[in-house]
Amino acid sequence: MSKLLIAGGDSFVYGSGLSDHDQTRWQHSLKTWPALLAGQLSREYVCRAVPGYSNSAIARTVMLSCQQASTQDILVVVNWTFLNRFEFRFAYDPWSTPIPAEGAALYSQWHNFNKLDYTRPGSHLQKSKQSVLKFIDDFYRHVGHDDIYEYYVTLREIVLLQNFLKANDIPYIFSVAHNFFRKSLPDENIQCLLSQIDMDPWFFFPPLHGFVEWAKGYPHVEEHPSDLAHQDALVLVKEFFDEKIA
């Protein structure tokens, strides 16, 4: 039986900007703290992180990876991302194909968006179909900008993945890029989800930071913490693993 560490996250887990990251080859780094943790634990590293991923995408891809490796010995590590990212599944590929005419084959594809994407000059959204651009614009104007909604969506995905892992007896470590648990929203739906989260397997960088917050004092490459931050993060996470998970 193979021993795997399945990692979920965005560019900080993918390893954008790290010394072994090659943008032209679309290949994840082996110098992120989850990858280094896998090495310390003698586990095969399976990276499911993708730059720009939303929390919905993180939960979806980690669950699928666990299901596909269900006969293996799995440890899951997730570094949850920013609240203002969302994933949509279009009924067709909105970038490379025309909107299908009646009877044409449909291309189903998942896409992730940040609320700034549709206003950034030169972005893929600016180059896409105007109908898709309008949809994203309308979504953030009428739905996505709401603090309660974006927090609710993330908490829902956390509870979903947590319960999936528990039901399948898969040990896990959850962490964050920024500590969104500091948000105080007096909404009963938010409080309901918060009450369902088991905080024992959660690792926060001292004092109660997410990885990006904690790494502000380290060198950065294109807004991403460099190799040294990940190396020092590994020491802290490994201590947490030995105490809480092992």
Hey, CA dihedral for 88, 91, 96, 100, is it positive or negative?
negative
pLDDT (average), residues 64-87: 96
| Per-residue pLDDT at 51 | 92
Q: Are residues 63 and 98 in the same domain?
A: no
| Per-residue pLDDT at 93 | 66
| Per-residue pLDDT at 106 | 34
pTM of the model: 0.86
| Per-residue pLDDT at 136 | 79
Cα 158 from Cα 80, distance rounded (Å): 9
Q: Give the residue among 152, 123, 154 at the shortest CA–CA distance from 136.
A: 123
Domains of the chain: total: 2
Cα 173 from Cα 7, distance rounded (Å): 10
Q: Is the pLDDT of residue 159 over 50?
A: yes
Q: Which domain does 230 fall in, by range?
A: 3-84+147-245
Residue with tokens 């709401």: 146
pLDDT (average), residues 3-16: 97
Question: pLDDT for 21-44, tens place per residue?
Answer: 876 677 899 999 999 999 999 999
Q: Are residues 188 and 224 in the same domain?
A: yes
| Per-residue pLDDT at 104 | 36
Q: Are residues 238 and 165 in the same domain?
A: yes
What length is written for the chain? 246
Q: Are residues 8 and 80 in the same domain?
A: yes
Q: Are residues 168 and 72 in the same domain?
A: yes
User: How distant is the alpha carbon of residue 172 from its chain centre?
Assistant: 14
Q: Are residues 67 and 36 in the same domain?
A: yes
Q: Are residues 189 and 225 in the same domain?
A: yes
Q: Are residues 8 and 108 in the same domain?
A: no
Q: Is the pLDDT of residue 175 over 60?
A: yes
Hey, CA dihedral for 8, 241, 229, 223, is it positive or negative?
positive
Could you tell me the CATH number of the domain that includes residue 67? 3.40.50.1110
Q: Are residues 108 and 78 in the same domain?
A: no
Q: Are residues 157 and 228 in the same domain?
A: yes
Better pLDDT: 88 or 161: 161
